[in-house]
Amino acid sequence: MIDTSGAGTAPNPRPASGIPTEARRAMYSAMWRARVFEKRAYDLFMSGLVKGTTHLGTGQEAVAAGFSTAMRDDDMVFCTYRGHNHTLLRGAPMASLMGELLGRESGCCRGKGGSMHLTDVEHHAMGSYAIVGAHLPVAAGAAWASQERGTGQVTVCFFGDGTTNIGAFHESLNIAAVWGLPVVYVCENNLYMEYTPISSVTAVPNPAADRAASYGLDRIIVDGNDADAVYEAALSVIDRARAGEGPSLIEAQTYRHYGHSRADPGKYRPAGEVEEWMEKDPLVIYRARLEKLGFPAADLDRIEEAARAEIDAATEAAKVSAEPGEAVLMTDLWADGGSSWRR
């Protein structure tokens, strides 16, 4: 939809497209923080410290960065098991996320959620949902409450291409449109479900965008590897939602560098495909753009270093924190703090 890649060569970091310098710096930092966080999660998984599973959004960081930078502080985010980036970039402390991945009591969910359920309500990261499509109606509901309560909040709901074929997608988009809800649905089309290409199981080429008309919505496709493009698209649909003009559906085209989850090597991908997308690595293209726009290389290096320092500290903090025990196990099923089913 919006492509600002050729956006001028001004010596000062003030882009022709009007994206503020601070926003750009924020996005670069956001992408790096997400990148190092997930690299560490991967390493810890491979070394056996993160158990269970992990689903990395590495390669897709521009979507999370663009949206999180465009959001108001109290706007809400709903995401999937592939939700590290979104939860982190809403403001969840790295240490609490890393604690959760390591199954520690210091984790954002006290170890009970795990990698697929990262949540930080204080920062309006309203949860990572592990069953495909389930969070779409939940996001609509959160937006409905904002609408009724007049809070002016916008809800942003991220999901994958494969999610467009499940019933909950259809029900959510329809009711969001009919009720004019302040919700933005963002499909991160990374071409694959787990191992199966989306194109092999979908009746239309663009699984989200080609269905927008079914809900009376505009067809919006954005380059999901271009943080600026995402940012501008995000601003426009979020503004629209906040102004009471209803929901939007965006298809962000991107790619995951790793396999689907855990140690999946992604062998099902055709030769050359990964390489092609590695050239479109959102961090690489963004750094090149920023340099072209006049951001000093040293500044950018410092952003990267800060991210590395942050993940090192967070990892250490998580590693030394305690494992949960029986008290945590039997806690927080009910609002009274306990889990008793009997009187």
Partner 1 sequence: MATLTYREAVARGIAQEMARDERVLLIGEDVAEAGGVFKTTQGLRERFGPRRVRDTPISEEAITGMVMGAAMNGLRPIGEIMFSDFLATCWDIVANQIAKTRYMTGGQIELPLVLRSANGGGSRFGGQHSQSVENWAMAIPGLKVVAPSTPVDVVGLMAGAIRDPDPVIFLEHKALFATKGEVPDGELVDVLGRATTVRTGSDATIVALAAMVPKAVEAADILAREGISVDVIDLRTLVPLDVTTVASSVARTGRLFTVEENPRLCGWGAEVASIVADECFWDLDGPIVRITTPHIPLPAADAIEDMAIPSADRIVETIRSSMQ
Ligand X SMILES: Cc1ncc(C[n+]2csc(CCOP(=O)(O)OP(=O)(O)O)c2C)c(N)n1
**Position 193 contacts ligand X (CB under 6 A):** yes
Distance of CA 6 to the CA centre of its chain: 26
Measure CA of the first residue to CA of the last residue in the chain; give whole Å. Answer: 58
**Position 159 contacts its own copies (CB under 8 A):** no
Question: Alpha-carbon distance 306 to 302, whole Å?
Answer: 6
Look at the alpha carbons of 293, 296, 301, 303 in this order and tell me if their dihedral is positive or negative: negative
The tokens 């492509």 sit on which residue? Answer: 3
**Position 119 contacts partner 1 (CB under 8 A):** yes
**Position 46 contacts partner 1 (CB under 8 A):** no
Site string for partner 1, 94-113 (x = CB under 8 A): ---------xx--xxxxxxx
The amino acid at residue 26 is: A
* Cβ 67 to partner 1 shortest distance, Å: 18
Pick one of Mg ion, its own copies, partner 1, none as the site partner of residue 303 (Cβ within 5 to 8 A by kind). none
DSSP 131-163: STTTHHHHHHHHHHHHHHHT----EEEEEEGGG
**Position 48 contacts partner 1 (CB under 8 A):** no
- H/E stretch holding 170: helix 167-178
* Cβ 313 to its own copies shortest distance, Å: 44
Pick one of Mg ion, its own copies, ligand X, none as the site partner of residue 177 (Cβ within 5 to 8 A by kind). its own copies
In the list 4, 69, 163, 315, the residue contacting partner 1 (rule: CB under 8 A) is 163
Q: Up-side HSE of residue 72: CA atoms within 13 Å toward CB? A: 13
Pick one of Mg ion, its own copies, partner 1, none as the site partner of residue 216 (Cβ within 5 to 8 A by kind). its own copies
**Position 273 contacts ligand X (CB under 6 A):** no
Pick one of Mg ion, partner 1, its own copies, none as the site partner of residue 211 (Cβ within 5 to 8 A by kind). its own copies
In the list 83, 111, 133, 160, the residue contacting Mg ion (rule: CB under 5 A) is 160
Site string for its own copies, 197-236 (x = CB under 8 A): ---xxxxx-----xx-xxxxx-------------------
- For ligand X, the closer CB: 220 or 293: 220
Order the strands of the 125-129 sheet from edge to edge: 125-129, 76-80, 155-160, 183-189, 248-253, 220-223
DSSP 5-46: TT----SSS--TT---HHHHHHHHHHHHHHHHHHHHHHHHHH
* Cβ 293 to ligand X shortest distance, Å: 31
**Position 37 contacts its own copies (CB under 8 A):** no
Residues 126-145 interacting with ligand X (rule: CB under 6 A): 130-132
**Paired residues of 250 in beta bridges:** 186, 220
Largest CA distance in the chain: 71
Residues 3-22 interacting with partner 1 (rule: CB under 8 A): none
Pick one of ligand X, its own copies, Mg ion, none as the site partner of residue 175 (Cβ within 5 to 8 A by kind). its own copies
* Cβ 299 to partner 1 shortest distance, Å: 36
In the list 177, 184, 233, 293, the residue contacting its own copies (rule: CB under 8 A) is 177
**Position 194 contacts ligand X (CB under 6 A):** yes
Question: Alpha-carbon distance 50 to 154, whole Å?
Answer: 33
Tokens at residue 292, please? 């072209």
Tokens at residue 73, please? 């502080």
DSSP 72-129: -TT-EEEEESS-HHHHHHHT--HHHHHHHHTT-TTSTTTTSS-GGG--BGGGTEEEEE
Neighbouring CB atoms inside 10 A of 214's CB total 12
**Position 131 contacts its own copies (CB under 8 A):** no
Residues 165-224 interacting with Mg ion (rule: CB under 5 A): 190
Contacting positions for ligand X (CB under 6 A): 82, 130-132, 159-163, 190, 192-194, 260
Contacting positions for its own copies (CB under 8 A): 165-171, 173-175, 177-178, 200-204, 210-211, 213-217
